[in-house]
Amino acid sequence: MSFRLSKRSLQSLSGVHPDLVRVIQLAIQRTPVDFMVIEGLRSPQRQAALVKAGASRTQNSRHLSGHAVDLAAWVDGQIRWDWPLYPRIAEAVKATAHELSVPVVWGGDWPSLRDGPHFELCRKIYP
């Protein structure tokens, strides 16, 4: 079974770096767990509000430049935040990124404050 990006997901990808878009567009066909793109490009105003609310730690988010996306697991018609779903999505995204030679970092691999929905282009290659 292969999934497709919803209209909302495609809208969320607008303004996102084309290499990251390519990865997500292919990863949706490979993932064992359906997902929705809930956020891509973020305005400085929204970032400041998220930091203030404690939902983000940095004013220097990769979302501000369109180098990051947040994916939400979509199971049985609803968004699920259950942690075990996210490594499965990440595995598909990582394999696709590798295949396309686009270095992508998963927030779930961060040593502290893991961010399962978050994927971003590697800063070294995509400053």
Are the CB atoms for 68 and 110 separated by under 8 Å? no
* Of the candidate residues 24, 34, 70, 96, the single one contacting Zn ion (CB under 5 A): 70
Residue with Cβ nearer Zn ion (21 or 68): 68
Least separation in angstroms between CB 1 and Zn ion? 27
Q: Specify the residue, 34 or 70, whose C-beta has the smaller distance to Zn ion.
A: 70
Nearest-CB residue for Zn ion = 118
Nearer to Zn ion, 31 or 66 (CB): 66
Strand partners, 37: 71
Segment near Zn ion (CB under 5 A); pick from 1-9, 47-55, 65-73, 87-95 = 65-73
Q: b/e for 104-126, b at 16 or more Cβ within 10 A? A: bbbbbeeeeeebbbbbbbeeeeb
Instruction: Find, among 10, 32, 30, the residue nearest to 21 by Cα.
Output: 10
The DSSP secondary-structure symbol of 104 reads E
17 touching Zn ion, by CB under 5 A: no
Q: Which of 78, 126, 71 is nearest to 103 (CA)?
A: 126
Q: Which of residues 95-124 bind Zn ion (CB under 5 A)?
A: 118
**In the complex with Zn ion, which residue's Cβ is closer, 68 or 102?**
68
Backbone angles phi, psi at 73, to 5 degrees: -65, 135
Q: How far is the CB of 63 from Zn ion (least distance, A)?
A: 6
Site for Zn ion, rule CB under 5 A: 68, 70, 118
